[in-house]
Structure 1
Amino acid sequence: MIIDSHAHLVTPLSLLGIRAGLEVSGGQHSLKWLQAMLPQADLDAALEKNIATMDDVGTDMQIISPRPFTLMHSHNRFDDVDLWVRLQNDIIHANVEKYPKRFRGMAALPQVNGMPIETVFGELDRCINELGFVGILLNPDPSEGKGDSPHIGEEYWYPLWERLAEMDVPALIHSAGCCGRETYDEHFATEESMAITKLSHSDIFDRHPGLKIIVSHGGGAIPYQIGRWRSHWLMTQAAENPSIAAFLKDLQAAAKAGKPLPQAPDELVTFDEMLKKFYFDTDVHDPESMKLLFGKVGVDRCLFGTERPGSGGGIDLNTGRPMDDLKFTIDNLDTLTVEDRRKLYQDNALKVFTRIPRDIVEGRLDG
């Protein structure tokens, strides 16, 4: 079974028109008003377009979330953001209800810059416990580029990590809009890279060993820049732990003398080991980058994800196919085994998203 763990709602333009009215109305509109203003025919057409795209590339199931750059997290009225997010989550729920074998929901949260993280718990609980969603979409920068959000390793986020670990709900780290110097594509890569480095220097995985965090877009720049972060990681550990500093000094001396290198102490946790506490999607749009990702974090930590619809719809000059046709890319990587592909397409997703109904998966495999 081919499970796309990173996909977004196909959004009719009429939905974005409702957002414009919501932003300028100053709280005048209710959720029922918003729902009544949205033509059902537009939603049906968008849904069928999504199904056709999935069929065209061989995707059996998508885990869908709202389009992140539309989420209004830097808007200053919580009630507006809450309504907007609830509306999109409800549309996703309706899509799942209509095609339960093709879709599962990943909930957006009403994150608002400057508001306590606990304000998202109501929608988190509703989507997971009432609507049957299987995960959440998490924006590491609700300020959307303004620079005043707490970074994701700070205590601001601790109540959310505790809640997610208790509920066994995975979080897909994915930036949203951007008000700064960057485009939202550039902002994605920046914030997703920072999410890894900041969380790596926190104790969240010690506090919550079962916490499942997926980093979008192959981990941003981290697989490519791993040498820089590895060096910084080791220098930090050496500065904080005299025994590690002594080991690194002995290691360097042995290398210079051409002697056998001493074995690393158990207390030394390498950046590579820390990196494998995260999960990553395959949404990198380039076969060589994908090979690099698999080589650095391992196939076991990667989930098939395409971000459809997203920024990968450009046509690859080498294949004539859209760059987000990532099943074609993975099927043609000669470095992967049959077992590797099964892990990427299905097994890893089922391990992370424990709320995906197993009877649906088994039925698809039998059929």
Structure 2
Amino acid sequence: MSKTNLRVDFHTHIIPEDFPDMAAKYGDDRWPTMNRTCDCGAEIMIKGKSFRKITDQAWDVEKRVADMDEEGIDIQVLSPIPVTFSYWSDPEAGLELSKFQNDFIASVVKEKPDRFIGLGTVPLQDVDMAIEEMDRAVNQLGLKGIQIGSNVNGLNLDDSSMEKFFEAAEKWDVPLFVHPWATLGGERMPRHNFMYMVGMPSETALAAGSLIMSGMLDRYPNLKICFAHGGGSLPYLLPRMDKGWEVWPEIRKTVNPPSYYAKKLYYDSLVYDPVNLQYMIDRFGPEQIIAGSDYPFLLREIPSGKVVDELKSLSKEDAQLILGQNALKFLGLHEMAVSK
């Protein structure tokens, strides 16, 4: 496989088959638990109710590799299922679950280092603990980045309590993948699975907008941050944000308008429609877009990069950037591409 043709699926999720029963251990049914329904599936339970159904693709490494081979994917980037962030929990317990998942993902990568790259998770409800676990995950376990949620117990990512974490991530050159969870307006989305279709894109836009408007990207210009689901609704809101920045000088905390900083962030390609992908390319440039599928969930793109393949106006060189090279650049793994 030449380095130019490499296909990397940046956005995939994995969970240990022996996921710990934190609810029983701590006597709190808010913890996500795994209820096996058959050899090939399970339900993630919260408060005694089914949160989501998953198949064994979520934990069976051999089945995952078989799917990759069938779909032409060379490498998957593994990250936890967002509901397991559990930022609401006691920080020590949150750290315990973070360590368990980070150790598991590192073990999968060690088993098949040519097929998998790992991202870790940290207990962001305690920034000092989060920084310590980020250090361990990256420098001891060899994970190549950290996945974080779009908010921490209702605090947006620009909250001053979290700035130290972003400062450390920039200092250590740790890439961050922001995934929506605990979406805004959740109480209005119980029907139609709107949490996934409307809530998550809106939540992602709020998370990205918070960082962009905060001035944090002026203070930490080398931060590497990628937003899931094509940045949600952010690409379409940027002109309105620019206008707000222009007409309300009292809200300005940045040197430049929001669209300037949006071009410095990364976004996965999970927008399903070539028209939407073209809009993202026009707004951000092909260098900022990374192919990702949301494997193994029902809303995933099959295969990863399908929307890239369908955009016929895209040059071969730009397609190769999006399908594989941008992911490796974002993760600091240029040498991995060369070795392929």
Do these two structures clear the TM 0.5 threshold for a shared fold by scoring above it? yes
The amino acid that maps onto 1:362 is V
The amino acid that maps onto 1:24 is G
Deviation beyond 6 Å, 4+ runs, structure 1 = 42-45, 238-241
Taking the aligned partners of 2:221 and 2:108, their CA distance within structure 1 comes to 33
CA shift, 1:18, in A, is 2.7
The 5-angstrom pairing of residues 332-347 of structure 1 reads 332-347=310-325
Matched, 1:173 2:173: no
What TM-score does the superposition give when structure 2 sets the normalisation length? 0.80
Taking the aligned partners of 1:43 and 1:281, their CA distance within structure 2 comes to 21
CA shift, 1:9, in A, is 0.8
| Contact map agreement 1:69 1:178 (CA 8 A) in 2 | no
Taking the aligned partners of 1:195 and 1:239, their CA distance within structure 2 comes to 17
| Root mean square deviation of aligned Cα | 2.7
The 5-angstrom pairing of residues 1-367 of structure 1 reads 1-9=6-14, 12=17, 14-15=18-19, 18-24=21-27, 46-75=60-89, 77-112=90-125, 116-143=126-153, 149-177=154-182, 180-181=186-187, 182=189, 184-185=195-196, 186-237=198-249, 269-313=256-300, 323-354=301-332, 356=333, 358=335, 360-364=336-340
Higher helix fraction: Structure 1 or Structure 2? 1
| Contact map agreement 1:10 1:46 (CA 8 A) in 2 | no
Residue 12 of structure 2 aligns to a residue whose secondary structure is: strand
Taking the aligned partners of 2:251 and 2:334, their CA distance within structure 1 comes to 48
| Contact map agreement 2:200 2:232 (CA 8 A) in 1 | yes
Taking the aligned partners of 1:309 and 1:22, their CA distance within structure 2 comes to 28
CA shift, 1:60, in A, is 0.8
Residue 201 of structure 1 aligns to a residue whose secondary structure is: helix
| Contact map agreement 1:68 1:177 (CA 8 A) in 2 | no
Q: Which runs of 5+ in 2 are unaligned?
A: 1-5, 30-55
Moved more, 46-55 or 149-158: 149-158
Q: Which runs of 5+ in 1 are unaligned?
A: 27-41, 144-148, 242-266, 314-322
Higher strand fraction: Structure 1 or Structure 2? 2
Cα–Cα, structure 1 residues 288 and 166, in superposed 2: closer, same or farther, change >3 Å? same
* 1:256 corresponding residue in structure 2: none
Residue 100 of structure 1 aligns to a residue whose secondary structure is: coil
Cα–Cα, structure 1 residues 345 and 205, in superposed 2: closer, same or farther, change >3 Å? same
| Contact map agreement 2:218 2:255 (CA 8 A) in 1 | no
Deviations 1:12-65 (A, max 9, x none): 4x52x6344344279xxxxxxxxxxxxxxx899711111112112111111111
| Contact map agreement 1:65 1:89 (CA 8 A) in 2 | no
CA shift, 1:124, in A, is 0.6
Residue 9 of structure 2 aligns to a residue whose secondary structure is: strand
What TM-score does the superposition give when structure 1 sets the normalisation length? 0.75
How many residues are paired up?
Answer: 302
